[in-house]
Amino acid sequence: MTTLRLVPNEPAFADTLSAEKVTSRIGAVIHGINTREPLPEEHKAFLHDALLRHKVIFLRDQFLDDAQHETLSRVFGDPILHPTIPAADGTPYTFELNSRNGRSTDSWHTDVTFVPAYPKASILRAITIPPYGGSTLWANTATAYDDLPAPLQQLADTLWAVHGNDYDTNFYKYDLRHEEIANFRASFISKIYETEHPVVRVHPETGERTLVLGHFFKEIRGIPTQHANRLLEIFQSYITQIDNTVRWNWKPGDVAIWDNRATQHYATADFDTHPRLLRRITVRGDTPISVTGEKSRQLKGPDDGHDLDD
């Protein structure tokens, strides 16, 4: 009997395409696709459709290099730089998540909502994973909206919220690592952005209504701060309820792809000081449109192209 030995450069792939659901509301593991090789149009279409249906999709044993990562990102659109943080050395678009001293983005957010046309999707690959902890959670902001009682849906449909990158990193918890946080913030807020988004946007491909909130939220227009924060807590509670989420325990070589227009995510900080290294590429998004047809609008920030649609 022949034994097949799997090594990083020799992943095994099924002969047929399939999407295996991870939870009832969000997440699926994709089988039968090798993203190290050029993808046929059938595979590209399958990935695109699976992303719209499941909101976040996972592929095991891919072990991509930087060039292959960028090629995969182009299946979903044009890769773009982060507005304030430069790309990792030797790459044109890659954002490196290199955790130090156990730090991670351990608060719920949608990527880069402080600009109008925030990313359509993100493609994240695992390189170094701690021996325990370090998982990532995603939440479905479309099913969260559907769960709202009708009066809360009607209220949310009318609200506009300001998002900014100069946000309070201690809003959700107190953190003693002041110097490290200050160094990160110095880079993250090297340019200041603020954008006004509808709390409810209409997904441009599925037509679903999704909630646009998360930790870049600063205020709701026309609502006192005290009450706006209470509304945020109410809406966020529907987004992050356990049954509306999926938790992914990373292995080296994994790839996760999520629809950034219909999800929030959270990286757990439960791995002590072990190294955790992942790399992400985002693709250009479109400016959200409210249920009444109004577009998001930039309130503050340089004219550097991050307010443009595809």
Catalytic residue of the set 43, 54, 109, 276: 109
Residues 6+ apart with CB under 8 A from 256: 56, 57, 58, 123, 124, 125, 136, 248
Catalytic residue of the set 43, 61, 103, 111: 111
Catalytic residue of the set 125, 201, 215, 265: 265
Residue 248 falls in which region: left (phi positive, over 0), alpha (psi -120 to 50) or beta: beta
* Angle, alpha carbons 154-233-174 (nearest 5°): 160
What's the CA gap between 226 and 133, in Å, rounded?
35
Give the N- to C-terminal CA distance of the chain in Å, as an integer. Answer: 53
Beta strands 28-31 and 56-59 are: parallel
237: part of which helix (H) or strand (E)? helix 225-239
Query: Is 109 in the active site?
Result: yes
What's the CA gap between 172 and 177, in Å, rounded?
15
Tokens of 297: 């609008």
Query: Is 227 in the active site?
Result: no
Catalytic residue of the set 201, 203, 280, 306: 280
Active site residues: 109, 111, 265, 280
